[in-house]
Amino acid sequence: MHKQSLTKMRSSLVSIKNSCRKALFRCNHASERLPKRKVYRYLMASSVLILSIIGITNLNSFDMLFETVNPYNQIVQERRLEVYGTTDQNKLTRSRYVTTPSPTTEKGGSDNATPTANSLTEEQRTAKEALHKLGLTNLESYVFDKRFKLYRKKIIKSPFKDKKQYHNSLGISKKIKIAKMCKLFYGPVFKTTARAFGVTENYMAAIMSVESSCGKALGSYKLFNAIVSNYLFDRRKLLWETQLKCLSWMADKGYDVYVRSSKQGAMGIPQFLPCSLKNKGFDLNYDGRVNLFDINEASASMALFLSSAAELHIPDKKLFLSNYDYNMEAALYTYNPSSWYVEAIQKIVEALRDAEK
Protein backbone atom coordinates (compact mmCIF):
# COMPACT_ATOMS: atom_id res chain seq x y z
CA MET A 1 0.00 0.00 0.00
CA HIS A 2 2.86 2.34 0.80
CA LYS A 3 4.44 1.79 -2.63
CA GLN A 4 1.10 2.34 -4.36
CA SER A 5 0.56 5.64 -2.54
CA LEU A 6 4.07 6.78 -3.48
CA THR A 7 3.44 5.87 -7.11
CA LYS A 8 0.16 7.80 -7.15
CA MET A 9 1.83 10.79 -5.50
CA ARG A 10 4.65 10.74 -8.05
CA SER A 11 2.24 10.55 -11.00
CA SER A 12 0.15 13.41 -9.57
CA LEU A 13 3.26 15.57 -9.16
CA VAL A 14 4.28 14.82 -12.74
CA SER A 15 0.82 15.80 -13.98
CA ILE A 16 1.06 19.09 -12.05
CA LYS A 17 4.47 19.79 -13.59
CA ASN A 18 3.17 19.02 -17.06
CA SER A 19 0.21 21.34 -16.51
CA CYS A 20 2.52 24.15 -15.42
CA ARG A 21 4.79 23.54 -18.40
CA LYS A 22 1.87 23.64 -20.78
CA ALA A 23 0.77 26.93 -19.29
CA LEU A 24 4.27 28.39 -19.52
CA PHE A 25 4.60 27.24 -23.12
CA ARG A 26 1.39 29.02 -24.04
CA CYS A 27 2.53 32.09 -22.12
CA ASN A 28 5.78 32.17 -24.07
CA HIS A 29 3.90 32.09 -27.37
CA ALA A 30 1.48 34.74 -26.22
CA SER A 31 4.15 36.98 -24.73
CA GLU A 32 6.00 37.29 -28.04
CA ARG A 33 3.32 39.75 -29.16
CA LEU A 34 3.11 41.67 -25.89
CA PRO A 35 5.35 44.62 -24.90
CA LYS A 36 6.01 43.48 -21.33
CA ARG A 37 6.29 39.81 -22.03
CA LYS A 38 8.54 38.94 -19.09
CA VAL A 39 6.18 40.49 -16.57
CA TYR A 40 3.22 38.74 -18.13
CA ARG A 41 5.04 35.41 -18.23
CA TYR A 42 6.00 35.53 -14.55
CA LEU A 43 2.52 36.64 -13.49
CA MET A 44 0.93 33.74 -15.34
CA ALA A 45 3.52 31.30 -13.99
CA SER A 46 2.86 32.43 -10.42
CA SER A 47 -0.89 32.07 -10.92
CA VAL A 48 -0.40 28.53 -12.23
CA LEU A 49 1.71 27.60 -9.21
CA ILE A 50 -0.86 29.04 -6.81
CA LEU A 51 -3.66 27.12 -8.50
CA SER A 52 -1.63 23.91 -8.40
CA ILE A 53 -1.03 24.38 -4.67
CA ILE A 54 -4.74 24.99 -4.07
CA GLY A 55 -5.55 21.73 -5.78
CA ILE A 56 -6.61 22.50 -9.34
CA THR A 57 -4.57 19.82 -11.04
CA ASN A 58 -6.98 18.87 -13.80
CA LEU A 59 -5.79 19.81 -17.29
CA ASN A 60 -9.30 20.87 -18.25
CA SER A 61 -9.28 23.41 -15.44
CA PHE A 62 -6.07 24.91 -16.76
CA ASP A 63 -7.46 24.98 -20.27
CA MET A 64 -10.59 26.75 -19.04
CA LEU A 65 -8.45 29.27 -17.18
CA PHE A 66 -6.14 30.12 -20.06
CA GLU A 67 -8.96 30.11 -22.57
CA THR A 68 -10.40 33.10 -20.75
CA VAL A 69 -7.26 35.06 -19.79
CA ASN A 70 -4.66 34.01 -22.36
CA PRO A 71 -4.29 36.74 -25.01
CA TYR A 72 -2.93 34.17 -27.46
CA ASN A 73 -6.42 32.67 -27.63
CA GLN A 74 -7.80 36.13 -28.39
CA ILE A 75 -5.24 36.55 -31.16
CA VAL A 76 -6.31 33.22 -32.66
CA GLN A 77 -9.99 34.20 -32.52
CA GLU A 78 -9.27 37.54 -34.20
CA ARG A 79 -7.29 35.80 -36.91
CA ARG A 80 -10.12 33.33 -37.52
CA LEU A 81 -12.62 36.17 -37.73
CA GLU A 82 -10.39 38.00 -40.20
CA VAL A 83 -9.78 35.01 -42.47
CA TYR A 84 -13.01 33.01 -42.25
CA GLY A 85 -15.51 35.62 -41.11
CA THR A 86 -16.55 33.58 -38.06
CA THR A 87 -15.09 32.19 -34.85
CA ASP A 88 -17.41 29.19 -34.68
CA GLN A 89 -15.25 26.09 -34.93
CA ASN A 90 -18.03 24.04 -36.53
CA LYS A 91 -18.36 26.50 -39.40
CA LEU A 92 -14.65 26.91 -40.06
CA THR A 93 -13.00 25.31 -43.05
CA ARG A 94 -10.96 22.50 -41.55
CA SER A 95 -7.54 21.50 -42.75
CA ARG A 96 -6.67 18.30 -44.57
CA TYR A 97 -5.50 16.72 -41.34
CA VAL A 98 -8.59 17.23 -39.19
CA THR A 99 -11.33 16.81 -41.79
CA THR A 100 -13.28 13.61 -41.35
CA PRO A 101 -14.24 12.17 -44.74
CA SER A 102 -17.72 10.85 -45.19
CA PRO A 103 -17.60 7.06 -45.37
CA THR A 104 -18.16 5.79 -48.89
CA THR A 105 -19.10 2.46 -50.25
CA GLU A 106 -16.79 -0.09 -51.78
CA LYS A 107 -15.07 0.45 -55.10
CA GLY A 108 -17.45 0.71 -57.98
CA GLY A 109 -20.49 1.50 -55.82
CA SER A 110 -22.38 4.75 -55.59
CA ASP A 111 -22.19 7.01 -52.55
CA ASN A 112 -25.89 6.58 -51.77
CA ALA A 113 -25.87 2.79 -52.02
CA THR A 114 -26.17 0.85 -48.78
CA PRO A 115 -23.51 -1.89 -48.50
CA THR A 116 -24.81 -5.38 -47.95
CA ALA A 117 -23.16 -8.55 -46.66
CA ASN A 118 -22.84 -9.93 -50.19
CA SER A 119 -21.23 -6.76 -51.57
CA LEU A 120 -18.41 -6.76 -49.00
CA THR A 121 -14.99 -8.04 -49.95
CA GLU A 122 -13.14 -10.54 -47.81
CA GLU A 123 -10.88 -7.84 -46.33
CA GLN A 124 -13.82 -5.59 -45.48
CA ARG A 125 -15.74 -8.44 -43.88
CA THR A 126 -12.73 -9.50 -41.78
CA ALA A 127 -12.05 -5.98 -40.55
CA LYS A 128 -15.73 -5.27 -39.85
CA GLU A 129 -16.09 -8.43 -37.76
CA ALA A 130 -12.95 -7.61 -35.76
CA LEU A 131 -14.15 -4.08 -35.03
CA HIS A 132 -17.60 -5.35 -34.11
CA LYS A 133 -16.13 -7.81 -31.58
CA LEU A 134 -14.19 -4.99 -29.93
CA GLY A 135 -17.31 -2.84 -29.75
CA LEU A 136 -15.84 -0.08 -31.94
CA THR A 137 -18.98 0.51 -33.96
CA ASN A 138 -17.99 4.04 -34.93
CA LEU A 139 -15.05 2.65 -36.94
CA GLU A 140 -17.08 0.10 -38.90
CA SER A 141 -18.27 2.68 -41.42
CA TYR A 142 -14.67 3.47 -42.41
CA VAL A 143 -14.29 -0.07 -43.74
CA PHE A 144 -16.50 0.90 -46.71
CA ASP A 145 -14.18 3.74 -47.71
CA LYS A 146 -12.54 3.40 -51.12
CA ARG A 147 -9.12 3.87 -49.53
CA PHE A 148 -9.50 0.85 -47.25
CA LYS A 149 -6.89 -1.83 -47.76
CA LEU A 150 -5.17 -4.38 -45.53
CA TYR A 151 -1.38 -4.57 -45.44
CA ARG A 152 -0.50 -8.19 -44.86
CA LYS A 153 3.10 -9.31 -45.29
CA LYS A 154 4.65 -5.85 -45.27
CA ILE A 155 4.10 -5.28 -41.56
CA ILE A 156 4.89 -8.61 -39.93
CA LYS A 157 8.70 -8.74 -40.17
CA SER A 158 11.38 -6.09 -39.78
CA PRO A 159 13.65 -5.73 -42.84
CA PHE A 160 16.78 -5.19 -40.70
CA LYS A 161 18.86 -8.08 -39.40
CA ASP A 162 21.38 -6.22 -37.22
CA LYS A 163 22.32 -2.77 -35.94
CA LYS A 164 24.85 -2.09 -38.69
CA GLN A 165 22.30 -2.73 -41.41
CA TYR A 166 19.77 -0.49 -39.63
CA HIS A 167 22.23 2.40 -39.28
CA ASN A 168 23.35 2.05 -42.90
CA SER A 169 19.79 2.13 -44.16
CA LEU A 170 19.03 5.07 -41.89
CA GLY A 171 22.02 7.06 -43.13
CA ILE A 172 23.46 8.68 -40.00
CA SER A 173 25.52 11.26 -41.92
CA LYS A 174 22.48 12.27 -43.95
CA LYS A 175 20.32 12.51 -40.84
CA ILE A 176 22.93 14.75 -39.20
CA LYS A 177 22.68 17.19 -42.10
CA ILE A 178 18.88 17.12 -41.89
CA ALA A 179 19.04 17.72 -38.13
CA LYS A 180 21.30 20.75 -38.64
CA MET A 181 18.91 22.22 -41.19
CA CYS A 182 15.95 21.44 -38.94
CA LYS A 183 17.65 23.19 -36.04
CA LEU A 184 18.45 26.16 -38.26
CA PHE A 185 14.89 26.61 -39.55
CA TYR A 186 12.98 25.80 -36.35
CA GLY A 187 15.46 27.09 -33.79
CA PRO A 188 13.07 29.62 -32.16
CA VAL A 189 10.39 26.95 -31.76
CA PHE A 190 12.86 24.53 -30.19
CA LYS A 191 14.15 27.22 -27.82
CA THR A 192 10.64 27.96 -26.58
CA THR A 193 10.03 24.25 -26.13
CA ALA A 194 13.31 23.83 -24.26
CA ARG A 195 12.40 26.61 -21.82
CA ALA A 196 9.01 25.08 -21.12
CA PHE A 197 9.77 21.35 -21.02
CA GLY A 198 13.52 21.01 -20.54
CA VAL A 199 14.20 19.04 -23.74
CA THR A 200 17.17 20.56 -25.57
CA GLU A 201 17.18 21.67 -29.19
CA ASN A 202 19.66 18.96 -30.18
CA TYR A 203 17.39 16.15 -29.04
CA MET A 204 14.36 17.71 -30.73
CA ALA A 205 16.18 18.12 -34.04
CA ALA A 206 17.71 14.62 -33.85
CA ILE A 207 14.39 12.89 -33.20
CA MET A 208 12.59 14.82 -35.93
CA SER A 209 15.34 14.05 -38.44
CA VAL A 210 15.17 10.31 -37.74
CA GLU A 211 11.40 10.04 -37.44
CA SER A 212 10.21 12.07 -40.43
CA SER A 213 13.25 13.87 -41.91
CA CYS A 214 11.95 17.01 -40.22
CA GLY A 215 8.49 16.69 -41.76
CA LYS A 216 9.46 15.58 -45.27
CA ALA A 217 8.92 11.81 -44.91
CA LEU A 218 5.49 11.31 -43.35
CA GLY A 219 4.82 7.80 -44.62
CA SER A 220 3.00 6.35 -47.61
CA TYR A 221 0.41 4.29 -45.72
CA LYS A 222 -3.00 5.14 -44.29
CA LEU A 223 -3.50 5.30 -40.54
CA PHE A 224 -6.74 3.31 -40.36
CA ASN A 225 -5.42 0.59 -42.68
CA ALA A 226 -2.14 0.28 -40.78
CA ILE A 227 -3.70 0.01 -37.30
CA VAL A 228 -6.35 -2.51 -38.40
CA SER A 229 -3.77 -4.57 -40.30
CA ASN A 230 -1.45 -4.67 -37.31
CA TYR A 231 -4.30 -5.81 -35.09
CA LEU A 232 -5.26 -8.60 -37.47
CA PHE A 233 -1.81 -9.90 -38.44
CA ASP A 234 0.54 -8.95 -35.60
CA ARG A 235 1.05 -11.11 -32.52
CA ARG A 236 0.81 -8.17 -30.08
CA LYS A 237 -2.98 -8.13 -29.94
CA LEU A 238 -3.25 -6.16 -26.70
CA LEU A 239 -1.06 -3.34 -28.02
CA TRP A 240 -3.01 -2.88 -31.23
CA GLU A 241 -6.35 -3.29 -29.48
CA THR A 242 -5.40 -0.30 -27.32
CA GLN A 243 -4.37 1.65 -30.42
CA LEU A 244 -7.69 0.83 -32.08
CA LYS A 245 -9.56 2.24 -29.09
CA CYS A 246 -7.50 5.42 -29.32
CA LEU A 247 -8.23 5.51 -33.05
CA SER A 248 -11.92 5.33 -32.18
CA TRP A 249 -11.40 8.32 -29.89
CA MET A 250 -9.77 10.18 -32.78
CA ALA A 251 -12.75 9.46 -35.01
CA ASP A 252 -15.13 10.81 -32.37
CA LYS A 253 -13.04 13.98 -32.07
CA GLY A 254 -13.20 14.60 -35.81
CA TYR A 255 -9.70 13.57 -36.88
CA ASP A 256 -9.09 12.12 -40.31
CA VAL A 257 -8.42 8.42 -39.69
CA TYR A 258 -7.10 8.03 -43.24
CA VAL A 259 -4.26 10.47 -42.71
CA ARG A 260 -0.78 9.54 -43.95
CA SER A 261 1.21 7.34 -41.60
CA SER A 262 3.98 4.77 -41.45
CA LYS A 263 3.38 1.04 -41.76
CA GLN A 264 3.17 0.86 -37.95
CA GLY A 265 0.53 3.58 -37.75
CA ALA A 266 2.83 6.44 -36.68
CA MET A 267 1.73 9.84 -37.96
CA GLY A 268 2.86 13.43 -38.18
CA ILE A 269 6.26 15.03 -37.69
CA PRO A 270 6.96 13.25 -34.36
CA GLN A 271 5.46 9.98 -35.67
CA PHE A 272 3.00 9.47 -32.83
CA LEU A 273 0.73 6.48 -32.46
CA PRO A 274 -2.96 7.24 -31.75
CA CYS A 275 -2.59 6.68 -27.99
CA SER A 276 0.44 8.98 -27.85
CA LEU A 277 -1.63 11.65 -29.57
CA LYS A 278 -4.47 11.15 -27.10
CA ASN A 279 -2.34 11.16 -23.95
CA LYS A 280 0.52 13.54 -24.82
CA GLY A 281 -0.84 15.68 -27.63
CA PHE A 282 -0.57 19.41 -26.97
CA ASP A 283 -3.33 21.61 -28.42
CA LEU A 284 -1.59 24.96 -28.63
CA ASN A 285 -4.15 27.03 -30.54
CA TYR A 286 -7.27 25.80 -28.69
CA ASP A 287 -9.02 24.43 -31.78
CA GLY A 288 -9.91 21.17 -30.05
CA ARG A 289 -7.44 19.02 -31.99
CA VAL A 290 -3.71 18.40 -32.02
CA ASN A 291 -2.19 18.93 -35.45
CA LEU A 292 0.95 16.79 -35.54
CA PHE A 293 1.78 18.20 -38.97
CA ASP A 294 2.26 21.66 -37.48
CA ILE A 295 5.78 22.27 -36.15
CA ASN A 296 4.61 24.17 -33.05
CA GLU A 297 2.15 21.59 -31.78
CA ALA A 298 4.34 18.69 -32.93
CA SER A 299 7.41 19.95 -31.05
CA ALA A 300 5.36 20.71 -27.93
CA SER A 301 3.77 17.26 -27.98
CA MET A 302 7.13 15.56 -28.47
CA ALA A 303 8.75 17.53 -25.65
CA LEU A 304 5.82 16.82 -23.33
CA PHE A 305 6.13 13.10 -24.07
CA LEU A 306 9.88 13.01 -23.41
CA SER A 307 9.83 15.20 -20.30
CA SER A 308 7.01 13.15 -18.77
CA ALA A 309 8.85 9.89 -19.43
CA ALA A 310 12.14 11.23 -18.06
CA GLU A 311 10.58 12.55 -14.86
CA LEU A 312 8.76 9.29 -14.24
CA HIS A 313 12.16 7.60 -14.26
CA ILE A 314 13.97 10.32 -12.29
CA PRO A 315 11.56 12.45 -10.21
CA ASP A 316 14.38 14.47 -8.60
CA LYS A 317 15.10 17.49 -10.81
CA LYS A 318 18.67 18.04 -9.56
CA LEU A 319 19.52 14.41 -10.14
CA PHE A 320 17.88 14.62 -13.56
CA LEU A 321 19.95 17.62 -14.65
CA SER A 322 23.18 16.21 -13.23
CA ASN A 323 23.00 13.23 -15.59
CA TYR A 324 20.92 14.63 -18.42
CA ASP A 325 22.01 12.30 -21.24
CA TYR A 326 21.39 9.16 -19.20
CA ASN A 327 17.88 10.27 -18.26
CA MET A 328 17.08 11.31 -21.82
CA GLU A 329 18.24 7.89 -22.96
CA ALA A 330 15.69 6.32 -20.61
CA ALA A 331 13.03 8.64 -22.04
CA LEU A 332 14.02 7.69 -25.60
CA TYR A 333 13.39 4.04 -24.79
CA THR A 334 9.78 4.94 -24.00
CA TYR A 335 9.57 6.83 -27.29
CA ASN A 336 10.95 3.88 -29.25
CA PRO A 337 12.01 0.75 -27.31
CA SER A 338 14.91 -0.10 -29.60
CA SER A 339 18.58 0.12 -28.66
CA TRP A 340 19.49 0.68 -32.33
CA TYR A 341 17.18 3.69 -32.46
CA VAL A 342 18.49 5.19 -29.21
CA GLU A 343 22.11 4.81 -30.32
CA ALA A 344 21.32 6.54 -33.61
CA ILE A 345 19.73 9.48 -31.78
CA GLN A 346 22.71 9.77 -29.43
CA LYS A 347 25.14 9.84 -32.38
CA ILE A 348 23.21 12.65 -34.05
CA VAL A 349 23.04 14.63 -30.78
CA GLU A 350 26.81 14.29 -30.30
CA ALA A 351 27.39 15.50 -33.86
CA LEU A 352 25.16 18.54 -33.26
CA ARG A 353 27.05 19.35 -30.07
CA ASP A 354 30.38 19.11 -31.86
CA ALA A 355 29.09 21.50 -34.53
CA GLU A 356 28.26 24.09 -31.84
CA LYS A 357 31.85 24.19 -30.54
Give the pTM: 0.69
> Is there a single domain that holds both residue 301 and residue 260?
no
Taking Cα atoms as reference points, which of 160, 210, 155, 154 lies closest to residue 182? Answer: 210
Query: How many residues in total does the chain contain?
Result: 357
> Is there a single domain that holds both residue 120 and residue 182?
no
> Is there a single domain that holds both residue 18 and residue 33?
yes
> Is there a single domain that holds both residue 311 and residue 351?
yes
Question: Which region among 125-134, 144-153, 246-255 has the lowest average model confidence (pLDDT)?
Answer: 144-153
Structural domain harbouring 8: 2-87
> Is there a single domain that holds both residue 53 and residue 126?
no
Domain boundary among 87, 106, 136: 87
> Is there a single domain that holds both residue 119 and residue 100?
yes
331 domain-assigned: yes
269 domain-assigned: no
194 domain-assigned: yes
Structural domains counted in the chain: 3
286 domain-assigned: yes
155 domain-assigned: no
Residue 5, pLDDT > 80, answer no
Calpha distance 12→17 (Å, rounded): 9
156 domain-assigned: no
Radius of gyration of the chain (CA): 22
> Is there a single domain that holds both residue 203 and residue 286?
yes
**Structure-model confidence comparison of residues 62 and 143, the more confident one:** 143
Residue 218, pLDDT > 80, answer yes
- Distance, CA of 341 to chain centre: 18
The model's pLDDT over 310-327, given as tens digits with 9 standing for 90+, comes to 765 555 555 555 567 667
> Is there a single domain that holds both residue 180 and residue 316?
yes
Average pLDDT, the chain: 75
Q: What letters, b where the CB count within 10 A reaches 16 and e where it falls short, cover 223-234?
A: bbbbbbbbbbee
Residue 232, pLDDT > 50, answer yes
Assign 255 a pLDDT band (cuts: 50, 70, 90).
very high
The model's pLDDT over 11-58, given as tens digits with 9 standing for 90+, comes to 666 666 666 666 666 655 554 444 444 555 556 556 655 655 555 444
Domain boundary among 37, 67, 87: 87
Residue 143, pLDDT > 60, answer yes
Assign 120 a pLDDT band (cuts: 50, 70, 90).
confident
Please tell me the predicted confidence (pLDDT) of residue 342.
92
107 domain-assigned: yes
> Is there a single domain that holds both residue 113 and residue 133?
yes
Calpha distance 53→47 (Å, rounded): 10
Assign 328 a pLDDT band (cuts: 50, 70, 90).
confident
349 domain-assigned: yes
